[in-house]
Amino acid sequence: MNRLKLSLLALIASLSVSTMGASIDHIQNYSAEYGGNPAQQGAINVGSTVYFNPAGLMRLENGTYFVGGLQYAFGDQNMSQDGRDFSTDLASPIPNFALYKKTDDGAYFWTVGGVGGGATLEYKDSIPLPNLGNLNFNDILKNTNVKGSNMYAQTTLGKAYNLTDKWSASLALRGVYGKRTLEAKTTLGQNDVSIDSERTAVGFGGQLGLNYTPNDKLNIGFRYDTKVNLDFETESKINDKTKIVSNKLLDIYPVYADGVKTRRDLPALAALGASYKVTDQWTTFIGGNYYFNESATMDRVEKMNVDYDNGWEISVGSEYWFTNQFAWLVGFNYADTGAPDKSFAATEYALDSTMIGTGVKYRPNETMEWTVAFNHYFYDTRTVENIKYEKEISSVGINFVKKF
């Protein structure tokens, strides 16, 4: 019986929570405009350039700008094993704020928002559990509940400046706060077994940007975010009537022992993109991101190393102004996460995806702009060790810009 409990706890202890988006931990949902047109790496606009191409701020009009927005992601994650489905609903708000001031001499900018992670997930009717010989854990366990969350918040402070009349650059410092929680419980016979864990970390990194505007039609933007080292420290409680099982659990998974520190870095990324004005009303966009997962320490738990491949994604988009007040956005994104089979678990599995989005912009006057957008992710299906993994996620968002 103790062997069964230990195996169950070991499985539950290996879980984290899912990421929404196209990378292992990174998300790119910095603004609602991304939802309608994800190819923002080379864009010049008042609502998203500060997040995706800060060196391009030098191509905007002088003034002080406030940006605020909210996106709401929703959908479900589903796994199936031996004819049984395990699913959970996903719901997550993603706020964003920015303040920047552009002058002839430079532009100072500050942003706050999400940079990684995903929503809180709760599996109320167990998760796919392994078989032990002819014995299936889900046949003998009662009241199995697993709930987890994974959130990375960032704040970036920097300056953009002109190098020449065509080249501009930006430098910034970024702070990241990461929080990963796990609550899991089950009943085996007369014994209740549970884990309540919270891991937090703070790290810092840098950001470099370059922007090149060879003419009044073409703009090219580049951004490099350095790796952020994150040492997660654990605060946890393990409730188990058989203490020897808890001690063995912590021997196998010391990451869940109270006070233990472990590394899970936010990988570096390089972003490159371009925008081209086909006409005065119509602008097209292309962009890509490359995630340096291989050079980051991203072990999910100690003594269980996962070798991630580097990830990448590519986006295209379009913006067409029907009048001086209304524009239509549309975009497409494909992402390869670089996640190997070994990284897949019940509440964390990074599937490759295709995203399509659309939205509208509204400018009631020269100092104000609203953006409303919608996107949907089509995730690949993947089967690992007799477990089929699926996702379906959409998001809606609204963004507001005020120029002073």
Instruction: Select from 128, 144, 123, 121 the least CA-distant residue to 83.
Output: 128
Please give the residue that has the higher pLDDT: either 329 or 140. 329
What DSSP string runs through 85-135?
EEEEEEEEEEEEEEEEEE-SS-EEEEEEEEEEE---EEESS-----EETTE
Longest Cα–Cα distance in the chain: 75
Per-residue pLDDT at 401: 98
pLDDT tens-place string over residues 357-366:
999 999 999 9
- Compute and round to an integer the Cα radius of gyration of the chain: 23
Q: For the CA atoms of 118, 120, 121, 122, what is the dihedral angle to 10 degrees?
A: 170
Output the pLDDT for position 100: 98
Supply the pLDDT for residue 360: 98
Predicted local distance difference test score (pLDDT) of residue 23: 63
Q: At what angle do helices 243-252 and 2-13 cross, to 10 degrees?
A: 40
Residue 123 banded pLDDT, cuts 50, 70, 90: confident
Domains of the chain, by residue range, sit at 2-403
Residue 41 per-residue DSSP state: T
Give pLDDT tens digits for 59-111: 999 999 999 999 998 988 888 888 888 888 888 888 999 999 999 999 999 99
Reply yes or no on whether the pLDDT at 320 is more than 90.
yes
Q: What is the mean pLDDT of residues 277-294?
A: 96
Q: Which range among 255-259, 345-349, 359-363 has the greatest average pLDDT?
A: 359-363
Output 330 or 244, whichever has higher pLDDT: 330
Mean pLDDT within 260-287: 94
Q: Are 100 and 107 in contact (CB under 8 A)?
A: yes
Residue 35 has pLDDT above 90, yes or no: yes
pLDDT at 398 over 90: yes
Judged against a pLDDT cut of 50, whether residue 150 lies above it is answered with: yes
Q: What is the pLDDT of residues 296-318, one digit of tens each?
A: 887 555 455 677 889 999 999 99
Ordered DSSP codes for 289-304 = EEE-GGGS---SBTTB
Taking the CA of residue 74 as centre, how many other CA atoms within 13 Å lie in the half-sphere pointing to its CB? 4
More confident residue, 386 or 209: 209
pLDDT value of position 14: 46
Sign of the four-CA dihedral 40, 42, 46, 49: positive
> What mean pLDDT, rounded, does the chain reach?
86
CATH architecture of 2-403: Beta Barrel (2.40)
pLDDT computed for residue 249 by the predictor: 52
Between 400 and 259, where is the model more confident?
Answer: 400
Cβ atoms 331, 36 nearer than 8 A = yes
> Over the stretch 165-208, which tens digit does the pLDDT of each residue have?
999 999 999 999 999 888 878 777 777 777 788 989 999 999 99
Q: Which pLDDT score is estimated for 267?
A: 93
Q: What percent of the chain has pLDDT over 90?
A: 53
User: Judging by beta carbons within 10 Å of its beta carbon (0-12, 13-18, 19+), is residue 317 exposed, middle or buried?
Assistant: buried
